Amino acid sequence: MKVVIIGPAYPLRGGLATYNERLARAFREAGDEARIVTFSLQYPEFLFPGTTQYSSSPAPADLDIEVSINSVNPLSWWRVGRQLRRERPDLVIFRFWLPFMGPALGTIARLVRGNKHTRLVTIADNAIPHEPNPTDRPLTMYFLPKNHGFVTMSRAVLADLRRLGLRQPARYEPHPLYDNFGPIVPKAEALRRLGLDPQYHYLLFFGLIREYKGLDILLEAFADERLQQLPLKLVVAGEFYKDPSAYEELIRKYNLESRLVRATRFIPNEQVPDYFCAADLVVQPYKDATQSGVSQIAYHFERPMLVTDVGGLAELIPNGEVGYVVPPTPRAIADALVDFATHPEKEAVFEAGTRHYKKQFSWAEMVKALKAVAELG
């Protein structure tokens, strides 16, 4: 089968790019021909809250990546759409995570469908955004109805697609394991590489810092007086995608500075193993969520997790077996952290749970799901 994946990839950085590159390899492992068409411009600079959209790592030598879509230039949409219509791939997979991409992806999809051969399937990270505005629905609905089918990585997004009135074949398939970061690093070695004191235990908040990810809730939980008595530190590893002043105010209010390890920058792939392997517990205190790639990195490195019971997070984290599922409140999070920190035997129990459950998160199954939906559409 000839497959084209449309979405972020090198030279862009981040979780979406990492996922799409791993998916292309999974199709190749299944015997298919796969390439990626990515963005020459993903976001205009004034819409991008981070420091840079681009990777500083070497290009992946094993992948065929075409850099050609400008998200704000319709001429590039038409050019890519007409090119793919002529090429007649068997399957085009779109990655949709943001309504802003609706016009570009919708135009490409309409043009490709004109060849009456190519099946169009979207992996929908979100159908209704975490941080909505009034333009979301028209932008989203310009694109989504042009697909033959959908795969979602949470049941919440599957339900959102139906709420939008989309009736094409759709299937839930869990987010595959992020197994591309290399082997597990011994904890002592990870701590040494990061310069962390082994006398402490470490909680990890990882990823881009946005309002819905709940770092403010975690800081309030971490201020709990019960936790102040324990040899525990919080590692915040990720780039701010909003004004950090509200978080800084909480840090000052609760006098948390000495208990924090700041790595508030984009963490390149080659450093990801150290942050996860140094952590005793990975904490995702989200206020809203669909699915999370952070969970799938934690599973790969067999790290216990704490997640809040929002969106699709709890679908992948069996409570009491790989960690904790709690309400998104400071008190509930603090209670779980105290329980974990005062029962050291639970780390080994949860590690064993991650080893058991991570076997179900397969890239081969994701490939099968995408092909199955394409055949039904």
Task: Enter the CATH code of domain 187-359.
Answer: 3.40.50.2000
The average confidence (pLDDT) of the chain is: 93
Q: Tell me: pLDDT of 54 over 80.
A: no
pTM of the full predicted structure? 0.87
Q: Structure tokens of 224?
A: 């709990």
DSSP-based three-state secondary structure for 360:
helix
Going by CATH, does the domain composed of 2-176+362-376 fall within 3.40.50.11930? yes
- Judged by DSSP in three states, 78 sits in helix
Residues 195-216 have pLDDT tens digits of 999 999 999 999 989 898 999 9
What is the C-alpha to C-alpha distance for residues 366 and 187, in angstroms, rounded to an integer? 31
Give the whole-angstrom CA distance, residue 340 versus residue 14: 30
| Alpha helix positions (H), 41-91 | 74-87
Each domain of the chain, given as residue ranges in start order, spans 2-176+362-376, 187-359
**Higher pLDDT pick, 2 / 57:** 2
For residues 317, 212, 152, 123, the Cα torsion angle rounded to the nearest 10 degrees is -130
Q: What is the mean pLDDT of residues 154-175?
A: 93
Residue 46 has pLDDT above 70, yes or no: no
Q: Report residue 43's pLDDT band, with 50, 70 and 90 as the boundaries.
A: confident
Q: How confident is the model at residue 51 (pLDDT cuts 50, 70, 90)?
A: low
CB 360 within 8 A of CB 177: no
Summarize pLDDT for 175-190 with one digit per residue, the tens: 999 998 999 999 999 9
Q: Is-same-fold flag (2-176+362-376; 187-359)?
A: yes
DSSP 164: T
Least confident of 63-72, 245-254, 290-299, 324-333: 290-299
